[in-house]
Structure 1
Amino acid sequence: MDRATLEAYEQNAASFACDWESQPAPDDIYDIIRRFFRQGKTADIGCGSGRDTAWLTQNGFAATGYDASEGLLTEARRRHPDIQFRPVTLPELSGIAEESFTNVFCETVIMHLPREAIAASVARLMAILKPEGTLYLSWRATEGHDRRDERGRLYAAFDAGLVLQALTGSKILLDEQRVSISSGKTVRRIVTRKV
């Protein structure tokens, strides 16, 4: 992950977690998960406060939350003590074996990576899926050049072709752009199945 972005999450973990936990449930995303995910072991990569990890687990997708920020993991464990949360960074995902998960959920994370790490990160997300496993991947679509918000978080501008090329050989089930209710920004969503 981009160093300044990680620092922003470390320094403001409680504030970010409070904000995310207080937002209305992302029912549109949860509908997509219900439609495409299969019951089974699920990884939430970039879990933040753990809100979605908890929802996944409560809805039959036995989930483990992973995040690069120790501060966010502390918040997630405090808010959702019955869920497992572990530290991990993209693109490595060190400690996660290949073909470990039926589902991988990665909501608005990869835009916080340097452009040169995006394809490798997507390939690694696919590698930890079991055959016939499903990946939900989304990112904020940033036009033109990279941007940083007031807290220093990176929003990388990159061509979606980087992601699509890394997904070569999988079966894309959904590919859409939507305006996020929480941020008001355009988000690209892809659901794909490993074949």
Structure 2
Amino acid sequence: MEYSHTITYYENNSSSLITQYELANVDKVQNLLLKTFSTNSKLLEIGCGSGRDAGFMIQNNYNVIGIDGSKKMIEEAKMIHPELSQRLFHSILPNNLKFDKKFDGIYSIATLMHLSKNDLKQTIKNIYNILNLNGRFLMSVSLFRDDIGENGFDKKGRFFLVLKIDEWIEICESVGFRIIETKINKDGLNRDGIEWLTLIAKK
């Protein structure tokens, strides 16, 4: 239920959100992507949004496909990033995270915190299962927000799962991941009251 409410928001506001995402300062996260994954790796992006990061990785010689829960976001992403026209697909977490191949790396920027805790656990398990041995996983999630109520929803109807760093780590380690690095970042859109956790793990 939490995820479906959130997807509805992204469906209804895809154009304005894509403009916002394309303008965000994500240099630090993108540089971290380059450091985390070897060139020419087969990568999966979960929550590709505007196609910003997938496009960046393609430009840097990575083989990337992306998925997103919003059909409209994917449609618009393909228009502004034509190089991704055959690389972006609609998929709802956690159950549709199934592929007939495995990946060298998987990353997810500002997406997984929209899941309920149970759906998050299942998604992390699925991510582990579709990674090659020694494959790496990078996720960026909001660690703290001052714009949500006690039930986890903001005024726009989006759900945010707020966990402590140790809880994010524990969920990843419970399926077999080894944590390589964690970083706390300021918000890329310069919003006060929002902190981000970037976590890198290895299978």
TM-score for the superposition, normalised by structure 2? 0.86
The aligned counterpart of 2:93 is 90
Are residue 176 (structure 1) and residue 189 (structure 2) matched?
no
- How is 1:1-195 mapped onto 2 (pairs within 5 angstroms)? 2-24=3-25, 26-39=26-39, 40-83=41-84, 84-97=87-100, 100-142=102-144, 145-168=150-173, 169-182=176-189, 183-184=191-192, 185-194=194-203
Amino acid of the residue matched to residue 3 of structure 2? Answer: D
Report the identity percentage.
22
C-alpha separation between the residues in 1 aligned to 2:155 and 2:23? Answer: 21
C-alpha separation between the residues in 1 aligned to 2:89 and 2:107? Answer: 15
Contact 1:103 1:133 in 2 (8 A): yes
Contact 1:146 1:157 in 2 (8 A): no
Give, in angstroms, the shift of residue 75 of structure 1: 0.9
Aligned in 2, Cα 1:123/1:166: closer, same or farther, shift over 3 Å?
Answer: farther
Contact 1:118 1:162 in 2 (8 A): no
Contact 2:97 2:126 in 1 (8 A): no
Structure 2: 5+ residue runs without aligned partners?
A: none
User: How many aligned residue pairs are there?
Assistant: 192
Task: Give the 4+ runs in structure 1 shifted more than 6 A.
Answer: none
Amino acid of the residue matched to residue 125 of structure 1? Answer: I
TM-score for the superposition, normalised by structure 1? 0.89
Aligned to 1:187, the other structure's residue is in SS state strand
Contact 2:169 2:179 in 1 (8 A): no
Structure 1: 5+ residue runs without aligned partners?
A: none
Aligned to 2:17, the other structure's residue is in SS state helix
Give, in angstroms, the shift of residue 57 of structure 1: 0.9
CA deviation string 1:158-194 (max 9, x = no partner)? 3444432332232211112222232441111110111
Note the aligned Cα RMSD (angstroms).
Answer: 1.9
Deviates more, 1:112-121 or 1:68-77: 112-121
